[in-house]
Structures are given as structure tokens and as C-alpha cells.
Structure 1
Amino acid sequence: MQTHNFSKIRNEIDVDFKNRKFENEKKYGVKLELFKSKFSMKSEHIRGNSNISYDDIYKIENESKIIIKKIENKSIGEFKDKYNTRFEKLRNVEFKYNTFSNCKFKNIEFYNCTFYGNVFSNCQFKNIIFINCNFYNTNECISIFNSKTIFIDCQFKNCNIEKSIFENIDLHNIKFEHTNLKDAILKKIYINNVHITDCDCRSFKIINPDIKEFEFEDNYLTKFDEYTFIDKMNIDKRYKKNYVVAFKLYRGIASKFEANGLLNNAGEYYYISKCMEYKSLSGINKFKSAIFWLLCGYGERPTFALITSLEIVLVFAIIYMVTGLNVDEYVISYKDIFSQGIPIENLNPDFMKSLYFSIVTFTTVGYGDITPIGYSVLLSGIEMLLGVTMVGIWTATLTRKITR
């Protein structure tokens, strides 16, 4: 995967995203009679303004019909002591094929719980711990979190969130530890202080994010593959500190790709990190970064070195026309063009000869059929040094990309 083609990859992910949502809606949203609703929690854990019976809460199952349960405007949990440290512990609870809308989950530890085929819309999860919980099974039962659902101070430990969809949600102070995030998609999300530790992020995708803080804190290694994709973050360009955040983020992503042996992907994110760093710099440091970008794209763009080389050749060719060249006793010199005008009839052949001399000088071939005069002698020496340097940079950068 060529990760620098972000538009193409983003479009491919959007297609997969829409197909996954469509399949989920087709299975669980349209043909309600096909699936069983299983919400096996005790009624005292559900709180709300409206009256609701135990049979309503526990499950809805009819001999002729098995339907999806829709739960709205309920508060689940909210148990705490005076220190706000007590968690309501729920073990081996099954949430299957439910639609939660405007519900609140607070101060709960879910242990070994199941969340198959659920949709959470405009819900709030606050101070929640998920341990050994499963949000996916092999029958393509996925979980969807969307419509401004908010996670605050939550932890996922040893969970399976494979193929889950997170769309238009907020994540604040979230930790993922030893969790399977394989093929999960996070789209249009706000990320503030999210930490990933030793997780499986193969084919994990984040698109159109607004990221404030996002870090990998591995003890072993978070798994990436060539399909792992983290989009360019939305940045408020008014504040340079936002570019510093972006630089650290993409540098961390690059190091994870490199640790997984995916050097080409690592190089692309390294390039993005250096571009973000450039925008955060000022003065001489910014100038040096710009030169490094211009010469070879921070070591990741061999075409930049080639284009810069061609530009150098062209610029020196024009300068040689002014400073002077000797071609078989014929002198090319346009230093008097402002007083005498440009000799149009000789302009094209003179330029071609100057361009030819610039090329052989840049490549240090030097046939000797054209000789520099005046300031051209010094300039040709400078061009030779630039030529040796640029050919070396281009060769090294190109070889690096090919070997990857």
C-alpha cells in the first residue's frame, strides 16, 4: 500500500465503511424478525424516567417473532461511593442485537461481557472498564458507535473490538491494553489523550480525525500491517503547537511501522512528521528543514532530488548565457541585454548550447568543446559540486525506496 496516496486510500476505506454499515443495517435494522434480542441484566441496573418492566428489560422473545430491542433514554450504572471509586461489576452479561439511543453508562466494570450486533447512538460511557469483553464474532456481528457517542475515562483490557465502527464520536482519556482492534474503523472522531498498549492494530483505520493527544505506550509491540492507516489529522493552523502535536504523533506512527518491519509505510509517515515539524519551526531551523525537503523530501522522495537537479541545470544554463561561454571562438554573452536588447535570432541556439554545457558540467563529464569565461569559471565549479552532491542524494534516496 502506498500510504502517501491518502485520497485513494480514504476513498477505499469509505467504500468498505459504507458496505459494512449497510450489511449491519440489512441484518439487524431492516429484517427485525430474524434476530433475537438478548439483554441479560438485572432490572435494578437500569434507571430512567419512564417505567419499564422486568420483562421489557431482560429480553423480548416471542414464539412467532424474535425482534431487536430498542432501549432509549436510560441510565445504566451510576453507582458510586463518596470517593467516586466504586464500580458496579457486571460479569458474563450479554448485550445482543440491541439499539441503545441516548443512554448513559457510568461507573461500571464489564467483565467477560458480550456486545454482539449492538448500535450505540448518542450514548455516554463515563468511567467504564471493559475486561475480556467481546464486540465481534465470526458471523459478522459487529458493534457500531455513532452519532456523538462519548467515551470519558474508559479502559479496554484484553477486549475484542475487531471490525467495530466508531463514527462521529469523542474519545477522552481512553486506554486500550492488549486489545484486538483489527480492522476497526474510526471515522470523524475527536481523540484527546488516547493511549494504545500492546494491541493488535492490523488493518486498523482512522480517517478524518481531530487529534489532540494519541500515543503508543508499548511494553512489547503493537501489531501493524501494510493496511493499517491513520489519516492526516485536522489541524487548527493558527497555533504552531498543533503542528508539534502532529509531528510527535506521526513520528510515533512511523516508529511503530518500522518496528513491524514495514519500512515503506514507516518512511511515508516519517515524511509527514517532518512536514508537520517544518510548520512548527522558525528562523534558521525552518530554512534548513526547507532545504532538506527541497533536496530529497526528507530522504523519502527521490523525484524531489531529480526535479531539483533539473532546476539547477536550467538555472545555471540561463546564468551562463549572461556570464559568458566560449564555443569554438564564438562567445555567448547576454550581459548587455538591458542596453542592447535580446538578439532573438540567436537566442534558441545559444540557450541550447548553454544548456548542454550546464548538463555536462553538472554530471562532471566535461567534454571540453565549450569553455567558461569570466564569472562562468567560478559558477561551473559550483555547479560541479552541486552535481556530485545531488547525484549522490538522488541515487541514495532511490536505492532506499527500491530496496524497501
Structure 2
Amino acid sequence: MAEKPTCQYVSPEGKKCSEIDMGSGYCFWHDNKFDKSGLELSQKLERYAKRGGLLQGLELKRANLEGLNLVNFEHHHGYDLSYSNFYRANLKGAHLFNNTMKNASLMKADLREASLHCCNLENTNLLGVKLENTRIDNMELGEQLLQEQQALEARKNRATEEAEDLFLQSEEIYRLLRKGAENQGLFEMVGRFTYKELRMRHAQYPRYSKRHLISSFVDLLCGYGEKPENVIRFSLGMIITCAFCYFLFGVSFQDQIMQLNLTNSLSDNVTALLNSFYFSVVTFTTLGYGDITPVGISRLIAAIEAFTGSFSLALFVVVFVKKMTR
């Protein structure tokens, strides 16, 4: 007796499906032409997973998978649902703990009250996904979203309109993730997604436009209010830069001008440099002891540094407190 033909699906990783061919060349689970809209498939999919069926490349567009319990308790690693299509699928209340869903599509899927705890969603399409009351802690997204990677590639190929659209999609996804993290009280994730959301918005601005330049400056200064360490780096850079300026243009100390002078000894120049650093620090922090005073163009530099210093210190306090009180 001839054996029944099997599904022709082979995943990008080379894994083959051994289910029976439905006549289209593919099994029920891998046939993208079979309309599964509204079909209640939760229990059927759970049984398929438990008997070792290939879960990569599932075609479950618009399927009803509400309450799906796809947790692999018997193994340290969860199920591998990579390359699967869950477009507009109903996954409300689904338990997907520790599953791998790389290169999949969850576009406009309903994941309200579901658990994506410890799931790997690298290169997965998350556009329009519903995440109200969804557990997303320890979820792995990779360094960049799928649309973010595509946008950078489009920009590289000078496809400006396509890149802007993809950056807009990335911004929307990060906004959804941020709101989902806020709902779960995951404030560290909130900060990360807020920063990425604003970076995607920044990428949509015309290069060298006013908005682009302002956004770049705010990012450099404080990471859009999410990176207090940026304020410290900016402050140190300002202090060092101004110190060398004082060293070049000179400051007055005990009625003597201290500045770079190639005719002086090395020790005298080093002393002048150290005093310039000291003066830069007290000017930046607006202490101003008065033992060293600027002269000539150094006065303008000192005024700019003092203003920038008072602003930067206040900004650091605001950003740091915001970060910590979360």
C-alpha cells in the first residue's frame, strides 16, 4: 500500500514537516491558502505540539487561539514557533512562556492578557499588536526591530519614502511596547522603549533640518531624558574643552598670566594646565572662588561655561530623579 504523501513544508532551518498532505502540498498547519479565520484551534494546536509536530512556519492567520496554553514544561527550552504567521490571530489570554518566535508575524494579533514572559521575538513583525495587560517582562527583541532594520537598509539604498514609512512603523511599535511596559510596571523597559521611540521619530526628520538638529542635541545631552550618564559625559567634555581653552588663551593668577608658553619649562606649563582644569571645574559648578580670573577671550568662554554648567547640573538632577523614582 502506497504511503500517503506528506507535507512539503521545509523551514529555513531545514526542518521538515511529517504531517499528511491535504492535497495542496501542505498539511493543515502549514497551508497558507486554507482559511482558518475564526476557527477554534487552541486545543488542537496544543495536542499537535505535545506529539512533536513541527511548529515552525505555522499559518494561523485570523485563527481563534484564545486561551492557548503552549508552555513546554518538560524541557528547559520552550516551543519553537519561528517563521509562523499569526496575523490578526486571537491570542487573548495565551500562555507562551519561554517560546521562540523569531522571524514570525504577530501583526495586529490580539495578545491582551497573554504571557510573553521570556519569549524570543527577534525579527518578528509586531506592528499593531494589542498588548493590554500582557506580560512582557524578560522578552527578547534583539538590538533592532524588523522594521527598524528594513528602514536602515532602505535609507542605505536611498529609498527615502520607504525608509520614513518603516521608521514610522518602528515608532508605533515602540510606543505600543512602552505602553505595555507601563501597564506592567516595568519602568526600566519603559525608559528603553521611550528612548527608542524618540530615536525612530528623530530618524523621520529631514537631515540637518531644525527639528533634526534639536533632536540630535537633546539626544546627545541627556538621551531624551532617559540617560543621565549622557549629562555626565557632556559635562566632562565641556570641562575638559574649556580647560584647554583657558590654557591656550590664558587666565590671571596672582597678577600673572598662566597659559601655554613654549619658552617656559615643562613644569610651568603643566602647572598652568592643572590650574586651568581647576578654574574650569569651579567655573562649571559656578563656585567661582575668585583666586583665578579670566582675561581676554577667556572671559567669554568662562561666561558660556558657567551658564552651561548651571543648566547641566539642574538637568542632571531632573533626569536622575526621574530615572530613580520610576
Who is 2:114 aligned against?
200
Aligned-pair CA distance for 1:360: 0.5
Aligned-pair CA distance for 1:141: 4.3
Aligned-pair CA distance for 1:310: 0.3
Could you tell me whether the CA contact under 8 Å between 1:189 and 1:209 is conserved in 2? yes
Out of 299, 309, 326, which is 1:387 matched to? 309
Q: Over residues 250-308 of structure 1, what are the superposed CA-to-partner deviations in whole Å (9 max), with x where a residue is unaligned?
A: 12101110122221211111122222322232222221111111111122211111111
Does 1:127 find its partner at 2:38? Answer: no
What is the identity, as a one-letter code, of the residue corresponding to 1:127?
A: D
Mapped partners of 2:54, 2:263: distance in 1 = 70
Aligned-pair CA distance for 1:160: 2.8
Mapped partners of 1:400, 1:358: distance in 2 = 28
Q: Over residues 198-250 of structure 1, what are the superposed CA-to-partner deviations in whole Å (9 max), with x where a residue is unaligned?
A: 23224152332143x522346xx332253234333241212233222112111
Could you tell me whether the CA contact under 8 Å between 2:118 and 2:139 is conserved in 1? yes
Aligned-pair CA distance for 1:142: 8.2
Out of 74, 78, 84, which is 2:21 matched to? 74
Who is 2:242 aligned against?
316
Which structure's residues are more often strand, by fraction?
A: 1
Report SS of the residue matched to 1:188.
coil
What is the identity, as a one-letter code, of the residue corresponding to 1:375?
A: I
Q: Structure 1 residues 365 and 217, CA, compared in 2 at 3 Å: closer, same or farther? A: same
Q: Structure 1 residues 73 and 141, CA, compared in 2 at 3 Å: closer, same or farther? A: closer
**Within 5 A, what are the aligned runs for 1:258-277?**
258-277=182-201
Q: Structure 1 residues 261 and 72, CA, compared in 2 at 3 Å: closer, same or farther? A: closer
Does 1:356 find its partner at 2:296? Answer: no
Mapped partners of 1:259, 1:74: distance in 2 = 44
Aligned-pair CA distance for 1:148: 3.8
TM-score when scaled to structure 1? 0.63
Does 1:253 find its partner at 2:177? Answer: yes
What is the identity, as a one-letter code, of the residue corresponding to 2:133?
A: T
Out of 189, 200, 210, which is 2:103 matched to? 189
Mapped partners of 1:223, 1:374: distance in 2 = 62
Who is 1:325 aligned against?
251
Mapped partners of 2:140, 2:46: distance in 1 = 21
In percent, how many aligned pairs have the same letter? 18
Q: Over residues 22-41 of structure 1, what are the superposed CA-to-partner deviations in whole Å (9 max), with x where a residue is unaligned?
A: xxxxxxxxxxxxxxxxxxxx
Mapped partners of 1:361, 1:142: distance in 2 = 72
Aligned-pair CA distance for 1:372: 0.8
Could you tell me whether the CA contact under 8 Å between 1:197 and 1:217 is conserved in 2? yes
Out of 82, 90, 114, which is 1:176 matched to? 90
Mapped partners of 2:52, 2:318: distance in 1 = 47
Q: Say what the alpha-carbon RMSD is for the aligned residues.
A: 3.0
Who is 1:233 aligned against?
145
What is the identity, as a one-letter code, of the residue corresponding to 1:198?
A: R
Larger-gyration structure (1/2)? 1
Could you tell me whether the CA contact under 8 Å between 1:223 and 1:260 is conserved in 2? yes
What is the identity, as a one-letter code, of the residue corresponding to 1:251?
A: R
Does 1:103 find its partner at 2:26? Answer: yes
TM-score when scaled to structure 2? 0.76
What is the identity, as a one-letter code, of the residue corresponding to 2:66?
A: K
Who is 1:61 aligned against?
none
Report SS of the residue matched to 1:267.
helix
Query: Which region of structure 1 is more displaced relative to structure 2, 312-321 or 172-181?
Result: 172-181
- What residue ranges of structure 1 are gaps of 5+ in the alignment? 1-49, 53-69, 79-101, 106-119
- What residue ranges of structure 2 are gaps of 5+ in the alignment? 5-16, 73-77, 155-162
Mapped partners of 2:83, 2:188: distance in 1 = 31
What is the identity, as a one-letter code, of the residue corresponding to 1:124?
A: D
Mapped partners of 1:142, 1:200: distance in 2 = 24
Count of paired positions: 288
